[in-house]
Amino acid sequence: MPIKLLPKCPVCSEDKIFFDAGETASCHLCGVRFEAYDTCQNGHYVCPMCRQKNTRQAIIAHCLKSPQRQPLPLVLELMELPEVAMHGPEHHLLLAAALLTAYAHEKNKTEDLPKLLDEANVRSLGVPGGACGAWGICGAAVSSGIYMSILTEASPYSEDEWKITGQLTARCGHVISREGGPRCCKRDTFLSLIEATAYSNAVLDTHFDVPDSIVCAFYPNNRECKRTACAFFPVRARE
């Protein structure tokens, strides 16, 4: 797999070129000028807000055409999309979107899926990149909570739904934080997925596979990979 520290250019799919120092550049999509640290080989610069919008549209479009009834294969497909970076706040949508899609297929509620995905997108946009360090709760944990909140229609005023949703977010946050940093959006999504599938089967009567082993294919792209200290690091790469 090629090294994918940043996704390819969202305009022309060319590779990126990195600058040692920031250079003023106009976003090719919104026209606003920013200090840029990369463009593509054709000179396109896309600002973080436009990149995030483009990436989220790609995640939702993939979910809407996917027949997947199981969250893990769909999570892996979404992580492989060229728009999805190794790390980034798109993971705060990615997990909820995969869970909602698998749920909608299992329960024959695909007509609701566009609305469910739109709601997950809006909610997850409120969780910034780096919330793991800044807030003490990983966005991949919140993503499981968003999934559960949407389906149980939890609100600040509900009782059981409020509890069910908070318990899932807390469980995910617990297993993620237990690993210690530095953050990895892949590892943390896998950990949250394992918790969310088991919990969903218990409270929403889904029949999701609860993965007991996931082999990470993304570690070559992660400069901060914990390698043998990560449960998802491939055995074949352990030498």
Taken as a whole, the chain contains a residue count of 239
- Tell me the residue ranges of DSSP E strands in the chain: 16-26, 33-40
In the bound state with Zn ion, the residue whose beta carbon lies nearer, of 39 and 189, is 39
Q: Are 200 and 211 spatial neighbours (Cβ–Cβ below 8 Å)?
A: no
Report phi then psi at 16, rounded to 5. Answer: -95, 155
In the bound state with Zn ion, the residue whose beta carbon lies nearer, of 16 and 107, is 16
Binding mask 43-82 for Zn ion (x = CB under 5 A): -x--x--x--------------------------------
Give residues 186-225 in contact with Zn ion (rule: CB under 5 A). Answer: none
Q: Are 232 and 216 spatial neighbours (Cβ–Cβ below 8 Å)?
A: yes
**Cα 184 to Cα 225: distance, rounded to the nearest angstrom:** 7
**Cα 5 to Cα 16: distance, rounded to the nearest angstrom:** 10
CB of 226 to Zn ion, least distance (A): 33
**Size of the residue set binding Zn ion (CB under 5 A):** 12
Tell me which stretch binds Zn ion (CB under 5 A): 6-14, 55-63, 78-86, 203-211.
Answer: 6-14
In the bound state with Zn ion, the residue whose beta carbon lies nearer, of 9 and 196, is 9
Binding mask 123-142 for Zn ion (x = CB under 5 A): --------------------
Q: Are 148 and 154 spatial neighbours (Cβ–Cβ below 8 Å)?
A: yes
In the bound state with Zn ion, the residue whose beta carbon lies nearer, of 29 and 175, is 29
In the bound state with Zn ion, the residue whose beta carbon lies nearer, of 11 and 125, is 11
Q: Please give the DSSP secondary-structure letter assigned to residue 86.
A: S
Tell me which stretch binds Zn ion (CB under 5 A): 2-10, 79-87, 103-111, 213-221.
Answer: 2-10
Question: Helices (H) and strands (E) in the chain — how many of each?
Answer: 8, 2
Q: Are 19 and 37 spatial neighbours (Cβ–Cβ below 8 Å)?
A: yes
**Cα 160 to Cα 204: distance, rounded to the nearest angstrom:** 13
In the bound state with Zn ion, the residue whose beta carbon lies nearer, of 47 and 95, is 47
Give residues 8-47 in contact with Zn ion (rule: CB under 5 A). Answer: 9, 11-12, 14, 27, 29-30, 40, 42, 44, 47
Residues that bind Zn ion (CB under 5 A): 9, 11-12, 14, 27, 29-30, 40, 42, 44, 47, 50
